[in-house]
């Protein structure tokens, strides 16, 4: 067989992907990992050369092509798409690549098809992602498997993970590219807890928005099929086309949600805030949720500015705060005291007992500390546009101290009156940040770390660098 160069093969794979119908791609979760990323992942995993490696949803075989190039000989691949498999076969000279439904069939059947007498050493790849619905199903009568998948979030990639547990030998490695929101979305909790309690999480590599045409962000989750009480998870980030190690976090630290800390400093600040303070949900026991008014007079998201409104005065009395529901990392929280005004659906509303407490919380919401917390620990470091929904707000740490409470309320009142975004307005924002840091016992070094991070994320418009 004439050997096709990696570059040429990469073009063949890309062209095939481009030729596919959008609906077919969506239903089968088709988006191929390019050769460059597949190579970096394979080198990063550094599996022993004798390993039996399987990519159960291999597409055009990009991972396997790279594995072969790196000298692995025992490589196996399957995919439900016959055409993709015929391309993979042309490039990788082996009989071990098959058209096969690896989500619907059980592990024994799959291994038999490859003449393998036992589970494999390593499972790699990028399984399909698609919510299981009426038109996207798994073709199996295995009720318990389907039930597990359903109870863990009903997605094809969840099915692929469970299937991998059956195909892998003890101590073997599973490394899959999966959606980043697997780490924190509530519906995936059952599988997440199974992994935290029964597998060793070797590493999590945050590849962010590597796949430009795929919704959301992705991670490479690498597990070992064993359990170790004192395991540390290594957290990596894909930065400037390199895989960079950020820190290690004990696996036992996580009980359900897995936060992707970006540095030791972030981890330390998180532990400090978690250990000491009560949450927004403990203090703010009134309504927290979307506005519901359909009236023409209802305030909508774009009417709100930081601490005021575009076209109306800030009310003096009442007990509501309005927050733009769409959150952008560049601008941070945009909210105002709203008294008894009405809000439409693009607004998040919270109510509290009195006007003073509303203004106090409003002050905290606009602080660097709050926006830092929200981005890193509520949105799990996703830089995509998020929403200020109740489930995120309720996680915010909220501390109230006698010596700063009234000062913060009065700074907020000043910010409502001063000319919007004037020099004095920015000076007041600085004073607010000082008071919040003081209230939360944030050290000078921690403050520098937070301010620097926020400055690099927020747009220049929100800094008054004179
Ligand atoms: C995200 S693509 C990744 C392909 C390949 N692993 C890569 O990284 O380039 C997911 C693949 O899963 C395949 N697939 C979807 N459902 C499958 C099933 N039930 N059994 C086997 N493969 C399946 C799709 O055809 C597609 O090629």
In a domain, 62, yes or no: yes
**Best mutation site among 37, 107, 127, 213 for ligand 1, i.e. most ligand atoms within 8 A of its Cβ?**
127
**How many CB atoms neighbour CB 440 within 10 A?**
24
pLDDT digits (tens, 9 = 90+) for 313-369: 999 888 999 999 999 989 999 999 999 999 999 999 999 878 999 999 999 999 999
Q: What pLDDT does 1 receive?
A: 44
pLDDT digits (tens, 9 = 90+) for 20-67: 988 888 888 889 999 999 999 999 999 999 999 999 999 999 999 999
- Output the CA 203–ligand 1 centroid distance in Å: 23
- Output the CA 79–ligand 1 centroid distance in Å: 6
pLDDT digits (tens, 9 = 90+) for 368-407: 999 999 999 999 887 766 899 999 999 999 999 999 999 9
Q: What pLDDT does 182 receive?
A: 97
Q: What pLDDT does 4 receive?
A: 62
Q: Do 254 and 287 share a structural domain?
A: no
Q: What pLDDT does 335 receive?
A: 98
**Contact yes or no for 153/192 (Cβ under 8 A):** no
Q: What pLDDT does 459 receive?
A: 81
The helices-and-strands tally (H runs, E runs) of the chain is 17, 19
- Output the CA 158–ligand 1 centroid distance in Å: 13
Q: Do 72 and 10 share a structural domain?
A: yes
Name which residue sits closest to atom 15 of ligand 1, judged by CA.
Answer: 28
Q: Do 324 and 197 share a structural domain?
A: no
Q: Do 183 and 318 share a structural domain?
A: no
Pick the last residue of a domain from 209, 233, 260.
Answer: 260
Number of domains comprising the chain: 2
Q: What pLDDT does 2 receive?
A: 44
The ligand 1 atom nearest the CA atom of 128 = 10
pLDDT of 466 over the 60 cut:
no
Between CA 379 and CA 388 the distance in angstroms is: 10
Domain interval for residue 369: 278-462
Q: Do 360 and 254 share a structural domain?
A: no
Q: What pLDDT does 137 receive?
A: 86
pLDDT digits (tens, 9 = 90+) for 139-190: 999 999 999 999 999 999 999 999 999 999 999 999 999 999 999 999 999 9
Name which residue sits closest to atom 13 of ligand 1, judged by CA.
Answer: 57
Q: What pLDDT does 129 receive?
A: 94
Q: Do 283 and 248 share a structural domain?
A: no
The ligand 1 atom nearest the CA atom of 62 = 9
In a domain, 271, yes or no: no
Q: Do 74 and 12 share a structural domain?
A: yes
Please list every protein residue whose CB sits less than 6 Å from any atom of ligand 1. 28-33, 55, 57-59, 62-63, 78-81, 84, 101-104, 125-128
pLDDT of 3 over the 50 cut:
yes
Q: Do 290 and 245 share a structural domain?
A: no
- Output the CA 156–ligand 1 centroid distance in Å: 10
Pick the last residue of a domain from 196, 225, 260.
Answer: 260
- Residue 158 is encoded by which pair of tokens? 């969840």
Q: Do 140 and 104 share a structural domain?
A: yes
- Output the CA 145–ligand 1 centroid distance in Å: 19
Q: What is the CATH number of the domain that holds 458?
A: 3.90.220
Between CA 458 and CA 388 the distance in angstroms is: 17
**Contact yes or no for 321/338 (Cβ under 8 A):** yes
pLDDT digits (tens, 9 = 90+) for 196-253: 999 999 999 999 999 988 888 999 999 999 999 999 999 999 999 999 999 999 999 9
Q: What is the CATH number of the domain that holds 239?
A: 3.40.50.150
Pick the last residue of a domain from 226, 260, 294.
Answer: 260
- Output the CA 25–ligand 1 centroid distance in Å: 10
Q: What pLDDT does 465 receive?
A: 63
In a domain, 53, yes or no: yes
């Amino acid at each position: 067989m004439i050997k096709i160069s990696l570059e040429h093969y990469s073009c063949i794979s890309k062209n095939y992907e481009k030729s596919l119908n959008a609906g077919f791609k969506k239903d089968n979760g088709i988006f191929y990992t390019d050769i460059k990323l597949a190579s970096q992942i394979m080198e990063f995993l550094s599996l022993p050369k004798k390993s039996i490696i399987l990519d159960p949803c291999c597409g055009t075989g990009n991972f396997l092509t790279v594995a072969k190039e790196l000298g692995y000989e025992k490589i196996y691949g399957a995919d439900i798409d016959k055409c993709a498999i015929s391309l993979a076969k042309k490039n990788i000279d082996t009989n071990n690549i098959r058209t096969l439904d690896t989500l619907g069939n059980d592990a024994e059947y799959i291994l038999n098809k490859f003449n393998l007498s036992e589970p494999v050493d390593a499972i790699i790849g990028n399984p399909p992602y698609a919510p299981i619905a009426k038109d996207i199903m798994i073709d199996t009568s295995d009720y318990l498997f389907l039930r597990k998948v359903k109870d863990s979030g009903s997605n094809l990639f969840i099915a692929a993970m469970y299937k991998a547990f059956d195909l892998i030998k003890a101590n073997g490695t599973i490394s899959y590219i999966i959606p980043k929101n697997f780490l924190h979305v509530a519906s995936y909790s059952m599988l997440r807890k199974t992994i935290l309690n029964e597998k060793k999480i070797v590493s999590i590599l945050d590849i962010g928005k590597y796949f430009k045409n795929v919704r959301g962000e992705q991670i490479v989750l690498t597990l070992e099929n064993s359990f170790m009480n004192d395991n540390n998870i290594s957290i990596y980030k894909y930065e400037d086309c390199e895989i960079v190690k950020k820190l290690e976090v004990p696996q036992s630290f996580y009980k359900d949600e897995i936060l992707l800390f970006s540095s030791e400093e972030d981890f330390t600040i998180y532990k400090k805030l978690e250990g000491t303070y009560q949450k927004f949900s403990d203090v703010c026991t009134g309504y927290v949720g979307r506005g519901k008014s359909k009236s023409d007079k209802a305030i909508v998201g774009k009417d709100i500015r930081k601490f005021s409104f575009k076209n109306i005065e800030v009310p003096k009395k009442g007990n509501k705060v309005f927050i733009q529901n769409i959150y952008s990392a560049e601008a941070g929280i945009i909210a105002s005291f709203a008294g008894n005004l009405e809000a439409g659906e693009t607004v998040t509303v919270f109510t509290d007992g009195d006007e003073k407490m509303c203004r106090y919380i409003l002050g905290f919401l606009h602080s660097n500390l709050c926006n830092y917390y929200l981005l890193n620990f509520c949105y799990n470091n996703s830089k995509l546009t998020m929403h200020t929904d109740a489930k995120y707000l309720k996680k915010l740490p909220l501390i109230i101290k006698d010596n700063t409470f009234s000062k913060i309320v009065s700074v907020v009142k000043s910010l409502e009156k001063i000319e919007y975004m004037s020099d004095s307005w920015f000076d007041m924002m600085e004073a607010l940040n000082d008071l919040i840091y003081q209230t939360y016992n944030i050290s000078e070094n921690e403050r520098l770390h937070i301010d620097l991070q926020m400055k690099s994320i927020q747009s220049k418009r929100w800094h008054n660098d004179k």
